[in-house]
């Protein structure tokens, strides 16, 4: 019996076997007040168990078990914090605009350097706004070593797609985890792009039906997350180095 039919058999009702709460080592903790359907659980488990050679592991389940990362399905509805690096980017250009304004005086509007700075400032503001507007569907807590999914923040439509893609995205963050090596900080624009690329790569290599939906979803994002699809495009065109870069992003830091 294949692992898929095994999962299918158990998808009919709620948890029917004790080990369903402890899959091959990865602890799957669905909080009591969370309303997660059987098929939704099956989708997440299917992704965890799918054969995927990555970072020395043969599946996400194996990888997360080795890393001792727990998966928690939480009823919380937290809001997203805009990363410091994005806020600092806005502040930098805000200061530049002010500096040039005071240096150039009333003629600043016709100065190319001022015009450039203003364009960059507007770009940074737009990115910050887009970050703040993105719903927080999940997160990886490096201190608790927990992936948390927030179904109550997930749109009603395409719930399974969101649950699976968020789980895989957060699994990438768990893989990248450099705690307690905080000298190597989290750089949102790099890591979120890599996490999205890793998620798309996973769906592609495991022949997951959600690949096209996920790819289109990444492309439609207004933040740096969308560059994950650009990396995927390059990978698809034969640039195998990108996959190596993704896997060694963690190891190079240690
Ligand atoms: Zn992320």
Distance in Å, CA 116 to ligand 1 centroid: 30
| Residues 6 or more apart in contact with residue 68 via CB below 8 angstroms | 145
Distance in Å, CA 173 to ligand 1 centroid: 7
Phi first, then psi: what are they for 194, rounded to 5°?
A: -65, -40
Angstrom distance (rounded) from CA 181 to CA 76: 29
CB 224 within 8 A of CB 127: yes
Please check the confidence at residue 1 and state whether its pLDDT lies above 50.
Answer: no
What is the arithmetic mean of pLDDT over 128-134?
91
Higher-scoring residue by pLDDT: 84, 233: 233
Residues around the ion ligand 1 (C-beta < 5 A): 192, 195
CB 101 within 8 A of CB 203: no
Given 1.20.120, 1.10.390, 3.40.50, 3.30.420, which CATH number is that of 3-79+135-251? 1.10.390
Please check the confidence at residue 215 and state whether its pLDDT lies above 70.
Answer: yes
Phi first, then psi: what are they for 68, rounded to 5°?
A: 60, 40
Nearest Cα to Cα of residue 160 among 197, 206, 201, 209: 209
What is the arithmetic mean of pLDDT over 101-110?
91
Angstrom distance (rounded) from CA 128 to CA 88: 10
- Which secondary-structure segment (H or E) carries 147? strand 146-149
Distance in Å, CA 17 to ligand 1 centroid: 32
Distance in Å, CA 191 to ligand 1 centroid: 7
CB 161 within 8 A of CB 214: yes
Every domain of the chain and the residues it spans:
3-79+135-251, 84-133
What is the arithmetic mean of pLDDT over 25-38?
78
């Amino acid at each position: 019996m294949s692992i898929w039919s095994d999962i299918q058999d158990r998808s009919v009702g709620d948890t029917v076997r004790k080990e369903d709460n402890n899959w091959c080592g990865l602890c799957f903790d669905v909080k009591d007040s969370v309303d997660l359907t059987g098929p939704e659980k099956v989708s997440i488990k299917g992704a965890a168990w799918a054969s995927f050679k990555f970072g020395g592991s043969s599946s996400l389940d194996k990888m997360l078990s080795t890393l001792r990362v727990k998966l928690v399905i939480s009823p919380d509805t937290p809001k997203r914090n805009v990363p410091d690096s994005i806020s600092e980017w806005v502040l930098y250009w805000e200061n530049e605009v002010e500096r040039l304004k005071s240096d150039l005086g009333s003629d600043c509007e016709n100065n190319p350097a001022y015009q450039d700075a203003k364009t960059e400032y507007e770009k940074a503001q737009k990115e910050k706004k887009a970050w703040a507007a993105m719903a927080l569907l999940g997160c990886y807590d490096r201190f608790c070593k927990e992936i948390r999914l927030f179904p109550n923040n997930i749109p009603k439509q395409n719930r399974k797609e969101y649950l699976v893609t968020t789980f895989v995205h957060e699994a990438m963050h768990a893989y990248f985890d450099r705690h307690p090596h905080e000298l190597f900080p989290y750089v949102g624009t790099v890591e979120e792009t890599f996490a999205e690329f890793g998620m798309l790569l996973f769906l592609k290599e495991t022949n997951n039906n959600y690949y096209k939906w996920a790819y289109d979803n990444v492309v439609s994002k207004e933040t740096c997350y969308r560059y994950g699809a650009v990396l995927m495009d390059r990978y698809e065109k034969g640039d195998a180095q990108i996959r190596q870069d993704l896997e060694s992003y963690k190891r190079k830091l240690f």
